[in-house]
Amino acid sequence: GAGVSQTPSNKVTEKGKYVELRCDPISGHTALYWYRQSLGQGPEFLIYFQGTGAADDSGLPNDRFFAVRPEGSVSTLKIQRTERGDSAVYLCASSALQGRELFFGEGSRLTVL
């Protein structure tokens, strides 16, 4: 499709496990964002990529969280030693170089048991 694609749509894991969430942005969009959203809350910024580099990673909560975008397109959010508090919907968004409108995917719902 033409929109932002996120996989998996749902992930259930056990506390302490490693998780990877994938985002495939809209073709040609150079900016990519990861947000985290808890039930009833607005999205919380995690990290912003411009091309391959992380322009702002100030929202990553701790060093268990890491994200990469090696070729400037697909991005992977990696969470090590998952904790129950990591349970949330992880949203990815992309935007064109000069554009400010963010196009969001449908999110990956992570549940840590």
Partner 1 sequence: GESVGLHLPTLSVQEGDNSIINCAYSNSASDYFIWYKQESGKGPQFIIDIRSNMDKRQGQRVTVLLNKTVKHLSLQIAATQPGDSAVYFCAEESNAGNNRKLIWGLGTSLAVNP
Contact residues toward partner 1 (CB under 8 A) are 4, 31, 33, 40-45, 48, 50, 55-56, 58-59, 91, 93, 100-107
User: Please, what is the minimum distance in Å from the beta carbon of residue 30 to partner 1?
Assistant: 12
Specify the residue, 79 or 90, whose C-beta has the smaller distance to partner 1. 90
Beta carbon nearer to partner 1, 45 or 66: 45
Indicate the residue among 41 and 80 with the shorter CB distance to partner 1: 41
DSSP code for 79:
E
Q: Which residue has the tokens 């904790």?
A: 83
Quote the least distance from Cβ 75 to partner 1, whole Å.
15
Dihedral of the CA atoms 93, 100, 26, 58 (nearest 10)? -40
74 burial level (CB within 10 Å; 0-12, 13-18, 19+): middle
**Minimum distance from residue 105 beta carbon to partner 1 (Å):** 5
Give the residue among 105, 107, 102, 63 at the shortest CA–CA distance from 83. Answer: 63
